[in-house]
Amino acid sequence: MNLMMMAILPIPLHSPSPPPPLRLLSPPNLPLFTFPAISLRHRYVTVRASGSSSQYDTNPPPLLQVNDLKAKIVENGVEILHGVNLTVNQGEVHAIMGKNGSGKSTFAKVLVGHPDYEVTGGSVVFKGENLLDMEPEERSLAGLFMSFQSPVAIPGVSNDEFLVMAYNARRRKLGLPELGPLECFSYLMEKLQLVNMNSDFLNRNVNEGFSGGERKRNEILQLAVLGADLAILDEIDSGLDVDALRDVANAVKRILTPKNSLMMITHYRRILDLLNPTHVHVMDKGKIARTGDISLVETIEKEGYETVPSLT
Ligand code: ADP
Ligand code: MG
């Protein structure tokens, strides 16, 4: 389950040890999500109207621009990100690789505003706005989605209730009428088909008793239902068998459009072969140490991570 969504939804939680982002609980019924396509169009029009791009410049601005981002762990003050630089444009698929502990998950969590981390330097612009000024729920609203490495369960809340609440929260935010039960059902069925998942999923409690693979699929279902301009998937492929991996990759492919982008943290080539990243980055010691195309993955497989950062 998506922690950011949990942070903003009025869901009864019976978990014995709720996860840290719950500290961010917003007032109940705060609408959360927006339709990415609409906000994207709005952003584009704004840029053109402001005169910051020429009449003939049809290139949209970068979706995400990260400059020299530094962040530390709040609890112990240890700096983990030592100056991350990254630009993501619309329609791009970025893979982030790197050995364990290099800061990949921290980078992703800092982008979505996880409270365990404090930004100590640098800037992040998302769709022309200063992302670091936004609350986590505003980041969600702006079209950022993250699937966490270890999705958590919400005992007592069924998947369909949860998805309907989250989706209707988005609609309220947009001033659209909430979907009634029948409309919701057909919308969810459409998305289930899109990600090739069984409707049994809807009746089960969010992630409760789900296998690792089912949790990962459920994250993709959430992404399909809610949509995003930039989806960050942290090790969505870990622990999946070959068939589940192919299904998840195909589901992600169906969600991708020329207008949205994907940042995928992974250790494995298999999902990259299925999703064809436009960029491959290697993180090392809290920085992006190397960027290339898919051929970089081959180098990593042959030589391991040790030599990669120093390649020229
Ligand atoms: P990766 O995802 O690349 O494996 P992480 O970003 O999870 O790496 O972690 C980078 C380093 O920061 C690790 O040494 C990890 O132990 C540490 N770290 C990250 N988050 C926390 C936290 N909340 N508390 C303590 N240490 C953390
Ligand atoms: Mg990680």
Residue pLDDT, tens place only, 204-221: 888 788 888 888 888 898
Confidence of residue 97 (pLDDT cuts 50, 70, 90): very high
Ramachandran quadrant class, 69 (left: phi over 0; alpha: psi -120 to 50; beta: rest): beta
Minimal-distance CA residue to ligand 1 atom 20 = 106
pLDDT at 277 over 80: yes
Q: What are phi and psi of 31, to 5 degrees?
A: -70, 145
Q: What is the mean pLDDT of residues 246-265?
A: 92
pLDDT digits (tens, 9 = 90+) for 41-81: 333 333 333 344 445 556 788 999 999 999 999 999 999 99
The overall average pLDDT reported for the chain is 80
Give the pLDDT of residue 262.
97
Ligand having the closest approach to the CA of 236? 2
Q: How far is the CA of 109 from the centre of ligand 1 (A)?
A: 10
pLDDT at 118 over 50: yes
Q: Which DSSP string do the residues of 46-78 spell out, in sequence order? A: HHHHTTSS-TT--PPPPSEEEEEEEEEETTT--
Would you say the CB of residue 98 lies under 6 angstroms from ligand 1?
Answer: yes
Q: What is the mean pLDDT of residues 184-206?
A: 86
Would you say the CB of residue 102 lies under 6 angstroms from ligand 1?
Answer: yes
Q: How far is the CA of 136 from the centre of ligand 1 (A)?
A: 20
Please state the atom number of ligand 1 nearest to the C-alpha of residue 117: 23
Please state the atom number of ligand 1 nearest to the C-alpha of residue 265: 2
pLDDT at 133 over 90: yes
Contact call for residues 28 and 177 (beta carbons, < 8 A) = no
H or E element, residue 104: helix 104-112
Would you say the CB of residue 100 lies under 6 angstroms from ligand 1?
Answer: yes
pLDDT at 289 over 90: yes
Residues of the chain with pLDDT > 70, as a percent, come to 78
Q: How far is the CA of 216 from the centre of ligand 2 (A)?
A: 15
Give how far Cα 244 sits from Cα of 113, 241, 248, 269, Å: 30, 5, 6, 15
pLDDT at 30 over 50: no
Residue with more model confidence, 154 or 251 = 251
Give the pLDDT of residue 57.
57
Confidence of residue 149 (pLDDT cuts 50, 70, 90): low
pTM of the model: 0.81
